[in-house]
Structure 1
Amino acid sequence: MSRRTLAAALTAVSAVLVSGCTTTLAGEPVSVFADPFRVAGMPATDGPTGLRPDAEAPTRVVIGTDGGEDDTLARQAISDIELFWEGAYGDVFGGRFTPVDDVYSWDANGFDSIGFCGTDTYALVNAGFCRDDNTIGWDRGEMLPSLRRAHGEMGVTMVLAHEYGHAVQFHAGLVDQDTPTLVSEQQADCLAGAYMRWVAEDNSPRFTVSTGEGLNSVLAAVISFRDPLLSEDDPEVGVDEHGSAFERLSAFQFGFTDGATACAGIDLREIGQRRGDLPVLLEADESGDWEVSETSVRAIVDAMDIVFAPANPPQLSFQPADCPDARPSPPVSFCPATNTISVELDELAELGAPPEIDDPMALAAGDNTAYSVLMSRYVQALQREHGGVDLDDAEAALRTACLTGVATTELSRPVVTPDGNTVALTAGDLDEAVSGILTNGLVASDVNGESVPSGFSRIDAFRVGVLGDVERCFKRFD
């Protein structure tokens, strides 16, 4: 018996972004519980995202600035974030908002003699809040330009909203010197989400963000700051832990959906409940990778048969889909009429290939970017067998994402297949799945490969499944 795993290492690597794989559904929502065309109660729309052309003038002075484009953007972001908290802080935490004392900019590539938090800023490619002197600073030489190239102007704004979240949580008494980093980081993600909701509601005089592609870019920035994947014998385990992409996205979405009041509820107990038994570290003997092949695809389908035990399991084909009642959605398609999953193996392998370029601002990529798509087509067969639901509408798209989340949790526990493989998703798989959901939407698409407009809604549906069960998915997306 050989052991196989389905995850690829998640050290800072470049994602293979797949575009044009899905189309966007149009029409009217059919569920009062989960509207596919709304994002946390807001319409899912595309439009301008970033600094407004008529933006209100910044109010903050930045120490050490070169006056360039990136510092101007960051200065506007800090000014805007402070405007939000001036209005929101008292209602949420009581008392008056206390802004940071100073704001710093430095060039990590230069020798400009700017210090930050008692540290020499040469080669300091970072942004942060300094509790010691109540200041915020950032690197304009490497970090901000990289963020802007990868995730746009709102990617920069998101990171600074997170750092300002640390200032807010400290002054509000949510954290102290003994608070675990994992808790303080995810609270700050949540507080940044509350600010982004304010911007999305068109309250900001400086920035705008659409709830479609604009918010997707913000989520991509959150993913890019996930923890690297470690094995259980790595000496860095437990040191400065921030959380996986899945966890940090969840925290951001709590703030965006429920506001800043939700952020105080994030503690070790709450994070532990979200993690459940999901793997966080690779076992010592795990490579974290399983090459996409006919063998691996068959093993995963066999494992799904064992976990879900359908009365009429879907058939597996490695020929292009030829289906009378659904359009192909390569690299994996499900045909309801024949109850067949068709896999275009070369394309699936390309989707799941580890990245070749090291990019610290990239999304997660690897084998479970592909295997999650395979699982999504299997759960469409489960919906067919369940009956009473459509397979070709927006509700089906989100139900598919939800049920794929259920499958992900189920396969995090080893399943021994008839051919002797042990199929087990490992640490990092969730991050690869949510990255794929955000970039190509295939996991959150209907039987025709059509997805809903908002990556936020797609990931939210997936999380419902990861933390829930089959029954919950059918009730939520009926």
Structure 2
Amino acid sequence: MRRSGRVMRRENNSGRAERRANGSARRLARTALAACIVLLVSSCGQSLQGTPVSVFADPFRVAGMPATDGPTGLRDDAAEPTREVTDTDGGEIDHLAISSVSDIEEFWATAYPETFGEDFTPVTDVISWDADGFDGVFCGVDTYNLVNAAFCHDDLTIGWDRGVLLPALRDANGDMAVTMVLAHEYGHAVQKQAGLLTRSTPTLVSEQQADCLAGVYMRWVAEGNSPRFTLSTADGLNNLLAAMIAFRDPLLSESDVAAGEDEHGSAFERVSAFQFGFTDDAASCASMDPAEIEQRRGDLPVLLPENQSGELEITEDSVRSIIDAMNILFEPAEPPALTFEPQDCPDADSDAAATFCPATNTIAVDLPALEQLGTQSEDDTGLTTGDNTGYSVLMSRYMQSLQHQRDGVALDTAQAALRTACLTGVATAKLTQEVGTPDGNTIQLTAGDVDEAVSGILLNGLVASDVNGESVPSGFSRIDAFRVGVLGETDRCFKRFP
């Protein structure tokens, strides 16, 4: 978030940008991954119970499937791999990886001809290396310090680093994080075979198509079709979304030399692409092109203004400025009051950092707690928390005030939780434009703010919670509702979540 004249500044992460620009290998369709990813995914909000109002947007289902916890990862009775690994060390990581490749190929053996009308041809070879070793070559590149997984267009092979990357992924998010990365890389092989790409296709399109194709495969696993893996639609799927957030592009400024080069997408964009594949099918992935991505990106900022961090310190003044901006954007008949004192609310019960009381039309902010929510991540791996992780919760309570002023709208249901997430997405998109506030400042969304909101939705669910701070079990559904709002308008949220 940016407020003119009062924006905190920090140095941009030019080191990572330089590594990213200089480390590209033209022959590799690469996944932008951090070598060490430390993720914590736990839904801090309580889970709502009850019967949903709308079958179309069932809060207790994920893309039509029940949102349930259960086992996730390699089955105890998993079918044996059908492929062998070149240069393997015979260890557990390579066994997990080749099981993943075998499973992905089994899926595409049926899904590919159904989608593209031709027989499926597997990759020519599957190669393993240790990035700490000195004697490996993949796709013509020395594998020493190659902490990566990739599809090689030159010889139609897939390879991975068994020494650093895959163990880090498995430690952070379990078996399926490894499988998802390889499903993404196999997505590039599917693109190649299906002729979806040309020499002029932007990297951004290629990468988001591959994210989408990975989502198609993961739906097959979640439906119980895989003979090797299981994936729960609650915590299991939430962890995969967290990994997708970790794979986002680094946050760059307009002056960075690497700006616009080798784009893979923001966390919001990559999660969206994965969700499209999981919800729809491979044909939806094939339809992704520069125009579709540009339309989906809309006015969302991609680059930070020069010498700015995009972080606005959470204070009483900044909170008031956000509320003032909301009043200007939505012009409610009865703007909510704002207090920084605890409130005794007769018709709502929440101890969140920001709460809304319908009886008094008041938003109460626990400033230290909101500051904690909006603390910026100490590094650029994993979930990307920051000021808008906190401000988005504040905006969500404002959007509950707007709902309260609409006749017949309940605030204490599962539908209300997702409706709140959707409306917060609407408010987020509106803030891409500068809003002048009565105090003479301007408030505006900056690059990275949407990703910070998405991280918060996955971590604590508060943006997607009802008036009592209760959320729905599926992070997938929470983020999906938020995205509907970002890409839509207020009325769409009320229609989808009545």
Q: Same fold (TM over 0.5)?
A: yes
What letter matches 2:201 in structure 1?
Answer: T
Structure 1's unaligned 5+ residue stretches are none
Instruction: List aligned pairs for 1:385-396, cutoff 5 A.
Output: 385-396=405-416
> Of the candidates 96, 104, 120, which is equivalent to residue 73 of structure 1?
96
What letter matches 1:434 in structure 2?
Answer: V
> Of the candidates 329, 332, 335, which is equivalent to residue 310 of structure 1?
332
What letter matches 1:367 in structure 2?
Answer: D
Deviation track 1:372-406 (CA, whole Å, cap 9, x = no partner) reads 11111110001001121110000000000000000
Instruction: List aligned pairs for 1:88-167, cutoff 5 A.
Output: 88-111=111-134, 113-167=135-189
What letter matches 2:193 in structure 1?
Answer: H
Using the TM superposition, name which of 157-166 and 313-322 deviates more.
313-322
- Does the 8 A contact of 1:7 with 1:429 survive in 2? no
Deviation track 1:269-316 (CA, whole Å, cap 9, x = no partner) reads 000100111111112253311111111111101111111111111111
Is the aligned partner of 1:370 residue 2:390?
A: yes
- Which TM-score applies when normalising by structure 2? 0.92
Match of 2:284 in 1: 262
What letter matches 1:466 in structure 2?
Answer: V
Match of 2:28 in 1: none
Match of 2:80 in 1: 57
Mapped partners of 1:78, 1:198: distance in 2: 14
Instruction: List aligned pairs for 1:310-349, cutoff 5 A.
Output: 310-349=332-371
Mapped partners of 1:267, 1:329: distance in 2: 44
What letter matches 1:457 in structure 2?
Answer: S
CA positional deviation for 1:17: 4.9
Mapped partners of 1:122, 1:207: distance in 2: 31
- Does the 8 A contact of 2:41 with 2:239 survive in 1? no
Alpha-carbon RMSD across the aligned residues, in angstroms, is: 1.8
Mapped partners of 1:306, 1:258: distance in 2: 37
CA positional deviation for 1:32: 2.7
CA separation of 1:16 and 1:120: change in aligned 2, threshold 3 A: closer
Instruction: Give the percent of matched residue pairs that are identical in Structure 1 and Structure 2.
Output: 69
Deviation track 1:38-78 (CA, whole Å, cap 9, x = no partner) reads 11111111111111010000111111211222111111100
> Of the candidates 64, 67, 91, which is equivalent to residue 44 of structure 1?
67
CA positional deviation for 1:237: 1.1
Match of 2:433 in 1: 413
Q: Secondary structure at the match of 2:405?
A: helix
Mapped partners of 2:354, 2:168: distance in 1: 34
Figure out how many residues of one structure are paired with residues of the other and give that number.
475
Is the aligned partner of 1:460 residue 2:480?
A: yes
CA positional deviation for 1:440: 0.9
CA separation of 1:194 and 1:137: change in aligned 2, threshold 3 A: same
CA positional deviation for 1:18: 7.6
Is the aligned partner of 1:26 residue 2:28?
A: no
Mapped partners of 1:162, 1:4: distance in 2: 41
Instruction: List aligned pairs for 1:292-311, cutoff 5 A.
Output: 292-311=314-333
Q: Tell me which stretches of 4 or more aligned residues in structure 1 moved more than 2 Å.
A: 1-21
- Does the 8 A contact of 1:15 with 1:355 survive in 2? no
- Which TM-score applies when normalising by structure 1? 0.96
What letter matches 1:97 in structure 2?
Answer: F
